[in-house]
Amino acid sequence: MRMPFNIPQASAHYLHQHAQLWGDTVAGLICARTALKPVAEPEHGDRRFHADDWSSNGWYSLLKQSYLINARALAELVEASTLDEKYKHRLRFFTRQFIDFASPANFAATNPEVVRTAVESGGSSLLTGLTHLLDDLGNGSISITDRSAFEVGKSVATSSGAVVYENDLFQLIQYAPLTPKVAARPLVIVPPCINKFYILDLQPENSFVRFACEQGLTVFVVSWRNPQQDMADTTWDAYLEDGVMQALSVARAISRADKVNALGWCVGGTLLSSALAIMRANGDDSVASLTLLTALLDFSEPGDLGVFIDEQGVQMREHTIGRGGLYPGRELGFVFQALRANDLIWPYVVNNYLKGQTPAAFDLLYWNADTTNLPGPMYSFYLRNMYLDNSLRVPNKLTFCGTPVDLGNIDMPSYLMAAEEDHIVPWRSAYRSTQLLGGQTEFVLGASGHIAGVINPASKNKRSYWTNESCDENADDWRATAVERRGSWWNHWIGWVRKHSGEQVEARTTLGNRKYKVIESAPGRYVKLRAE
């Protein structure tokens, strides 16, 4: 049990730290001593204060330590509050935003690296930074990578394949086989519609698509269209019926398989599970197995995204875009950046605007900046029924495409992967899906976060993951007896999915079939469409 927060004691400790800090600073100035043990140190991995000046220069050391003392005092006050946990989470999040913003590293006059760069460049670094700021204001977003270094279809999303079906909502890509024989049942991947699919096919060495093809699977991927004004009335049901279910049907027809294996990531997993619940309720058993990657079905603890969602905010969305309109991709992109401000906002403010540097080329950040819009009706429905009301977990509370939805009807084997440090889909929340799905489930916990936890190439075999043969009701009980395994969860998953992939057959050299002919080469037109 947590001990009660003692405000007088905390206040005395806070004042004592500041008094000690000032005393050490004055003593260092008088006696020219710089080797005193710091009163406050940054946490391990905090890159804001790596420059030597933050420790060797008395003035900058004072700024750094004063900030850290104040920041920790604020954080402790939040934890000491008697607010309901939901509101405390919100207070914690926005307090952290203020703390991150207030760092002396974020201001030109109090960052030693910025001052040195300005002096050495004769002020040109500040002028260049101003130019970068004006450019980004014009673009409506902070540049986090060198966008000119990549081109979709040439430097990212380069796996060989073809678009074999398209409608107004998505293109279906079939990838060329990389083995003489393939499993009879294909893999159909449903990525999130709030990002573009090529996170799964960045470069050959970190491409999940290529890995699956190399392991003898026929791979189909849904490439969602980036919504423009003609999709302003598109609904959640349309994403299920004209999107997910149509993709599964076409992939099965092309491969001439009895069943397909299906994989969904993030909201793609929510869409896929919703579609499968409809299909199973209607007697459709054409999906052999389900894989969910960092996906939520129970939204009772949605992580930091939950701080942006309340009744008033959802009503506002429903009245403005819920009956028709678009939710801008840039706004959604900034929300995701704010979740990790010290990684995705402030370093770029400092480097781009204060130091005048150009961000480095990084494929993952290029993808992160390639935002997508969302149709207002679909987005508003998602916010209301998933995040706010958490209705999907309740059997038959929601009706999709005219069919009451019960996740318990999803009775095929399921592989559920979550990430230990995921701030978008907390792993304990993802674990709750094991208690909602009707079939046998295997839960795997990977290291790292929402993206890096999933994109952990088997060829590099880094990090680790945890497995447990049993799926207890409580996530912490599962973790307590889970076994850590070194390397990538990809190798574990491929062994699992092979069990549900059927016999080996000769790989076909032509893509599509007579009904579903090749439309264009992968990655297709839709993925290249930019958000308005």
Q: What pLDDT tens digit does each residue of the chain (532 aa) get?
A: 344 456 676 677 788 777 877 777 776 656 555 556 788 889 888 899 999 999 889 889 999 999 999 999 999 889 888 888 888 999 999 999 999 999 999 999 999 999 999 999 999 999 999 999 999 998 888 999 988 899 999 999 999 999 999 999 999 999 999 999 999 999 999 999 999 999 999 999 999 999 999 999 999 999 999 999 999 999 999 999 999 999 999 999 999 999 999 999 999 999 999 999 999 999 999 999 999 999 999 999 998 999 999 999 999 999 999 999 999 998 888 888 898 899 999 999 999 999 999 999 999 999 999 999 999 999 999 999 999 999 999 999 999 999 999 999 999 999 999 999 999 999 999 999 999 999 999 999 999 999 999 999 988 888 999 999 888 889 999 999 999 999 999 999 999 999 999 999 999 889 999 999 999 999 999 999 988 6
Rounded distance, CA 237 to CA 274, Å?
10
In the structure encoding, which two tokens stand for residue 267, read together?
């909201």
SS3 358: coil
Rounded distance, CA 327 to CA 478, Å?
38
- CA dist 351 to 119, 131, 348, 354, 356, Å? 16, 13, 5, 6, 6
In order, the DSSP letters of 493-510 are HHHHHHTTS-SEEEPPSS
Answer for the pair 437, 414: CB distance below 8 angstroms, yes or no.
yes
Specify the pLDDT at position 427.
97
Residue 266: active-site member: yes
pTM metric for this prediction: 0.92
The torsion angles phi and psi of 345, rounded to 5 degrees, stand at -125, -65
Identify the active-site residue in 31, 193, 213, 266.
266
- Based on DSSP, count helices (H) and strands (E) in the chain, helices before strands: 19, 17
Specify the pLDDT at position 200.
97
Q: Provide the 8-state DSSP code for 239.
A: I
The residues spanned by each domain of the chain are 7-106, 161-339+361-528
Specify the pLDDT at position 6.
60
Rounded distance, CA 282 to CA 252, Å?
18
Specify the pLDDT at position 309.
92
The distance from CA 371 to its chain's CA centroid, rounded to whole angstroms, is 13
Write the CATH number of the domain with boundaries 161-339+361-528.
Answer: 3.40.50.1820
Answer for the pair 276, 249: CB distance below 8 angstroms, yes or no.
no
Rounded distance, CA 363 to CA 358, Å?
15
Specify the pLDDT at position 241.
98
